[in-house]
Amino acid sequence: MSEKQKYEYEKEWVYEHREPRIIKESILTGSKALEKAPKIYGIPTGIEGLDELFFIAEVENGKVVKKPLGGIPAYSVF
The series of mean pLDDT values per 10 residues for the chain, 78 residues long, is: 61 60 88 89 92 93 94 90
For residue 20, being part of any structural domain is answered with yes
Please report the pLDDT score of residue 60 as a whole number: 94
Please report the pLDDT score of residue 20 as a whole number: 77
Please report the pLDDT score of residue 70 as a whole number: 92
Domain count of the fold of the chain: 1
SS (H, E, C) the chain: CCHHHHHHHHHHHHHHHHCCCCCHHHCCCHHHHHHHCCCCCEECCCCCCCHHHCEEEEEECCEEEEEECCCEECCCCC
For residue 78, being part of any structural domain is answered with no
Please report the pLDDT score of residue 74 as a whole number: 92
Please report the pLDDT score of residue 34 as a whole number: 87
Please report the pLDDT score of residue 41 as a whole number: 94
For residue 9, what are the domain limits? 3-73
For residue 7, being part of any structural domain is answered with yes
